[in-house]
Amino acid sequence: MGNPHILPCVPGTRYGKLTLIERIDRNAARGQLCLFRCDCGNSIEWYLREVRNATLASCGCEVGHGGRTHGLSREHRLTYKTWEGMRARCLNPDHNSYQYYGGRGVTIYPDWLDFSKFLRDVGDRPSKGHSLDRYPNPDGNYEPLNVRWATAKEQGENRRNSIIITLDGESLTAMQWSKRLNIPYARIVQRVKRGHSPEKSLSIHNVRPSLSLASEIGKKGAAARWKHKREPAKT
């Protein structure tokens, strides 16, 4: 006999604008984690109990029908762009950074799927130099008491000599990225010092040196060989 506490998961069942596609994790921390497809075409992963209880009725696209969200998105363009990035990283399996966020269990506070409520709680992004920082727990969720707007300098306070790398709007130290992505710390630092982009510095694949770097290495190698050739042999 099945567990009476486990809600029935029936693909094709509709909840508001969401259609249940499949169950992903029966034993997730907040209940059954399922994949839903919204009427707008987006796919999101969320908890079945919260969807059934109408805590979540869409992927967030329905917020502001009648122009409310559109008006906010124009008036708070930087904040809206950051909000969209946060949602994509956590909810869209097709996003190139999903594996580091939603794929690792990072979730968004349900109210913040509504941009107006996110703006109300988090406030406007102060400048282009600020990013949404999960603080004090960089491996936690996007939720109240664990986010702030911060510059790379602010995030590096009390962490002298830390290398701050910003990827997809999130800034972490090289050591934090190393732990999260399981990439050797020394490899990340070496890539940064060679001038690679954040995407290449944090790539799990081998990174070939840029043409300019390869050229510079080649010149130094040729100079060293020429110097060695011209030096008289020691007797």
Task: Give Dmax (Cα) for the chain.
Answer: 90
Query: Is residue 232 classed as helix, strand or coil in its secondary structure?
Result: coil
Residue 231 to residues 79, 203, 226, 234, 235, Cα–Cα distance (Å): 62, 42, 9, 9, 12
> CA-CA distance, 93 to 76, in Å (whole number)?
26
> CA-CA distance, 5 to 128, in Å (whole number)?
47
> CA-CA distance, 55 to 114, in Å (whole number)?
11
Asked whether residue 2 is domain-assigned, the answer is yes
pLDDT of residue 66: 33
pLDDT of residue 213: 43
Name the nearest CA neighbour of 108 among 65, 179, 170, 47. Answer: 47
pLDDT of residue 28: 62
pLDDT of residue 212: 44
Digit-coded pLDDT (tens) for 199-226 = 988 988 776 654 444 444 455 554 445 4
Query: Is residue 204 classed as helix, strand or coil in its secondary structure?
Result: coil
Asked whether residue 96 is domain-assigned, the answer is no
Asked whether residue 8 is domain-assigned, the answer is yes
What is the number of domains present in the chain?
A: 1
pLDDT of residue 21: 92
> CA-CA distance, 151 to 166, in Å (whole number)?
10
Beta bridge partners of 131: 150
Q: Which two tokens stand for residue 56?
A: 């979540």
110 upstream amide cis, omega within 30 of 0: no
Residue type, 231: E
In the predicted model, residues of the chain with pLDDT beneath 70 are 1-6, 28-30, 54-57, 60-74, 156-162, 207-235
Asked whether residue 122 is domain-assigned, the answer is no
pLDDT of residue 143: 92
Q: Which two tokens stand for residue 105?
A: 């269990």
**Residue 40 is part of which domain span?**
1-58
pLDDT of residue 107: 92
136 upstream amide cis, omega within 30 of 0: yes
For the chain, the average pLDDT equals 76
Displacement of CA 159 from its chain's centroid (Å):
22
Asked whether residue 40 is domain-assigned, the answer is yes
Asked whether residue 160 is domain-assigned, the answer is no
Asked whether residue 37 is domain-assigned, the answer is yes
Give ∠ CA 84-87-88 in degrees, rounded to 5.
Answer: 85
pLDDT of residue 231: 54
Asked whether residue 105 is domain-assigned, the answer is no
pLDDT of residue 46: 78
**DSSP β-ladder status, 147-151 and 164-167:** unpaired
